[in-house]
Amino acid sequence: MTLKTSQINNYTEIPVNNTDVLREPDLFKKKVYDLSGLDSYITIYLDNFEQNLMPLESISGEFTLSPNHITTSLVTREPPTIEEAPNAALKTVLFLPEGEGRQGEGGLRTQGYFKHSQPYKPLITVITVVFNGEKYLEETILSVINQTYDNMEYIIIDGGSTDGTLDVIRKYEDAIDYWVSEKDQGIYDAMNKGWRLTSEQSMILYLGAGDKIHTLPSASELEKNKQNIVYGNVYIGNHFYSSRIDFRLKLGNTLHHQALLVPKKIHPHPPFNIKYKIYADYDFNLRLFLSGKKYFKSQEFLSFALPDGVSSKINIIEINKICRENLGYIHGLTSYIYISLQKIKIWQKRIK
């Protein structure tokens, strides 16, 4: 690595060993500040690639590891502050405690790189949960790391896959903030694990293997609504689904997690009730709605949901149970009738 301090007609180059930067950040900081009399900007050459100009005082803050993927932007050596929780199982963590059958973990965090919310750029944390998703996972990863919003981190929770899923993950390890592979108790247990790994300032979005982000909300929309739940529209296969927040959410799910950003601040602890095997995300959406949380719909926010996802087949019994437990028996009965009619409509379309 070389640090170059730019002046009008000349420059000074001072060689710095990579180890100084990666393992001795304080030493690196000292070397940089020794240059303060020369200029207020430096250029970092990392692995012989010129990175962007940064103010001298920011070198211990955020920088870009690589221009190839957006998830390597705005990284820092400073880990986020972790707030204490009364129950250790609910506490936010940077790395998951080792679980049953762990096959590995990795990513930028394990190399000492972290992310924070920035002024005018809230941190988005995208979480993918996967089990034996080799066929579809790569397109999901690419849809995340090739976005243009540059304050985003990516976490993958694998349930102990036995196909080539880990090979796909390792292929993109340098663009993934954290990944882990170990057994879990199902998709919503894995989603809860992912929630624990997010910072208090983050806005959280879930994608399954095969789901993709088309476009995210703008930075200005996110900044104005960083305390609100931001949602958008979704393509489910070739069908365009216009998400909505109204009375219909009391009858069935009208939001999809592929286009839903939830600020962790409004629900610090893992939110999914794992007794629901298919619609724990609907249960969470309904609880947020009933608690009076504020929502903002971004017309720029668009995602794609794999048609054969876990909740693609309507399970009337589980939806009805969620409605009854959150709203009472009358709403439960109304929901049962409404979902039954929706199921009939779907069946009629398929036989035409």
pLDDT computed for residue 210 by the predictor: 96
Give me the mean pLDDT over the 235-262 stretch: 93
Local structure of 344: helix, strand or coil: helix
The DSSP code for 274 is T
pLDDT on residue 44 = 40
Question: E strands within the chain?
Answer: 2-6, 11-15, 41-46, 49-55, 104-106, 124-130, 152-158, 178-181, 203-208, 212-215, 229-236, 239-241, 260-263, 295-305
CB 4 within 8 A of CB 11: yes
Q: Is the pLDDT of residue 146 over 80?
A: yes
Give the model's pLDDT for residue 316: 83
Residues 6+ apart with CB under 8 A from 315: 278, 279
Q: Are 268 and 195 in contact (CB under 8 A)?
A: no
In angstroms, the CA 145 to CA 138 distance is 11
Q: What is the pLDDT of residue 164?
A: 96
Question: Helical H runs in 105-259?
Answer: 134-145, 165-171, 187-196, 219-224
Average pLDDT value over all residues in the chain:
82
- Residue 32, pLDDT score: 33
* pLDDT above 90: residue 154: yes
pLDDT in tens, 310-348: 655 678 889 889 999 999 887 778 877 877 776 666 555
Give the three-class secondary structure for 13. Answer: strand
For residue 84, the model assigns a pLDDT of 75
Residue with tokens 């017309």: 299
The better pLDDT of the pair 2, 257 is held by 257
- Spell out the domain ranges in the chain: 2-60, 88-311, 314-352
Higher-confidence position of 352 and 266: 266
The average pLDDT across 157-181 equals 97
Name which residue leads in pLDDT, 75 or 329.
75
Q: Which one, of 297, 166, 179, lies nearest residue 232 by Cα? A: 297
Q: Angle, to 10 degrees, between the axis of helix 316-327 and the axis of helix 280-290?
A: 30
User: Is the confidence at residue 168, as pLDDT, over 50?
Assistant: yes
CA–CA separation, 319 and 279 (whole Å): 7
The confidence score (pLDDT) of residue 18 equals 38
Q: How far apart are CA 311 and CA 81, in angstroms?
A: 35
Query: For residue 49, what pLDDT is reported?
Result: 35
pTM for the model: 0.81
Which residues, 6+ apart, have CB-to-CB distance to 189 below 8 Å?
Answer: 272, 274
pLDDT tens for residues 180-232? 999 999 999 999 999 999 999 999 999 999 999 999 999 999 999 999 999 99
Euclidean distance between CA atoms 165 and 136, whole angstroms = 9
Q: Which pLDDT value is given to residue 343?
A: 63
Fold of 88-311: Spore Coat Polysaccharide Biosynthesis Protein SpsA; Chain A (3.90.550)
Highest mean pLDDT among 1-5, 154-158, 237-241, 252-256: 154-158
pLDDT in the model for residue 24: 36
* Alpha helices by DSSP H, the chain: 18-23, 25-33, 134-145, 165-171, 187-196, 219-224, 280-290, 316-327, 329-351
What is the b/e burial string over 199-229, where b = at least 16 CB atoms within 10 angstroms of the residue's CB? bebbbbbbbbbbbbbbbbbebebbeebbebb
What pLDDT was estimated at residue 331? 75
Q: Which of 23, 22, 4 lies closest to 13, judged by CA?
A: 4
What is the model's pLDDT at position 312? 54
Mean predicted confidence (pLDDT) in 260-269: 96
| pLDDT tens per residue, range 268-315 | 999 999 999 999 999 999 999 999 999 999 999 999 999 876 655 678
Residues above pLDDT 70, as percent of the chain: 78
Q: Model confidence at 89, in pLDDT bands (50, 70, 90)?
A: confident
Q: Are strands 49-55 and 239-241 parallel, antiparallel or unpaired?
A: unpaired
